[in-house]
Amino acid sequence: MKRIVGSLGALPVLLMAGAAFADQPRPWEVTFQPAATGIMGQITWFMHYTLWFIVPITLLVLFLLAYCILRFRASANPTPSRTSHNTVIEVIWTVGPVVVLLFLAIPSFQLLTAQYNPPEEPKLTVKATGNQWNWDYEYQVDQPLTFNSAILADKDRQAAGKSDLAVYPRLLTVDNEMVVPVNTTTRVLVTGNDVIHSFAVPAFGIKIDAVPGRMNETWFKADKEGLYYGQCSELCGKDHAYMPIAVRVVSEAQYNTWLAAARTDLGGANKALMAEIDAQRNVASAAH
């Protein structure tokens, strides 16, 4: 009985550990990554919602094409009709699409509005500057923190403690992740330093261009701790495919500890944070 109670007590940690590294591309993935923000949840809902219109319309058009091909082929209809128009049909194919578009447009505009209007004033602002082919992050806090984030070479994985490909996938792992607290509205100011880049994290439902000389703004509020991956999504040169984005979402206490240490020793702060997260995961696995 004690063992069962202990396992149940560890369940939240297990769920956190299980979900922590789930948000990354998968082979043959045909749907969105699991939502880690409310906005991404709305995007996923809207995708499912539109399928209720797309699938029936596609089947209807397929049926009409097949019917016309068979019913009005030359051998079955040697004397074609000379009808020039049909008022009923013209009204149906005019009014029908208008109604469908209204059902799609209203929730679409609502989602678009939500994407650009955070429900509360952001508590954290991070400036992301795209370079060929890495990102600079500037934390706009009382004592600003600035660092560069670039793809991690395979030869440097072991030294960085990122040898586990399941957690740190090849071509997506970076040397320094953006670290943010969970359940915190985070504003991201995005710009480019040389050419146009694009800051995109699928699990957060954000994608915004980084244009030189222009400051674009997006936001997210991650509701699950974990490590989330994205990539530059605007063709920006020969190493465009090697410009990943990694955002580590942690508890507020872990974030505050990391931020204080990162100002003087970024590498040490990252390793200490990783060690704490690994220890939590190991405890959860042992309890399970």
* 85 within domain boundaries: yes
pLDDT at position 11 is 37
* 55 within domain boundaries: yes
Domain identity same for 206 and 233: yes
- The last residue of a domain, from among 116, 140, 155: 116
pLDDT at position 75 is 87
- The last residue of a domain, from among 54, 86, 116: 116
Residue range of the domain that includes 184: 124-287
Reported pTM: 0.83
List, in sequence order, every residue forming a beta bridge with 137; answer none if it has no partner.
128, 147
Q: One-letter amino acid identity for 154?
A: D
Domain identity same for 107 and 139: no
Mean pLDDT by 10 residues, the chain (288 residues): 38 40 74 92 96 95 94 86 84 92 96 92 96 96 93 92 90 95 96 96 95 96 94 95 96 95 93 90 70
Domains of the chain: total: 2
CATH number (domain holding residue 150): 2.60.40.420
Tally the residues of the chain. 288
- The last residue of a domain, from among 116, 147, 166: 116
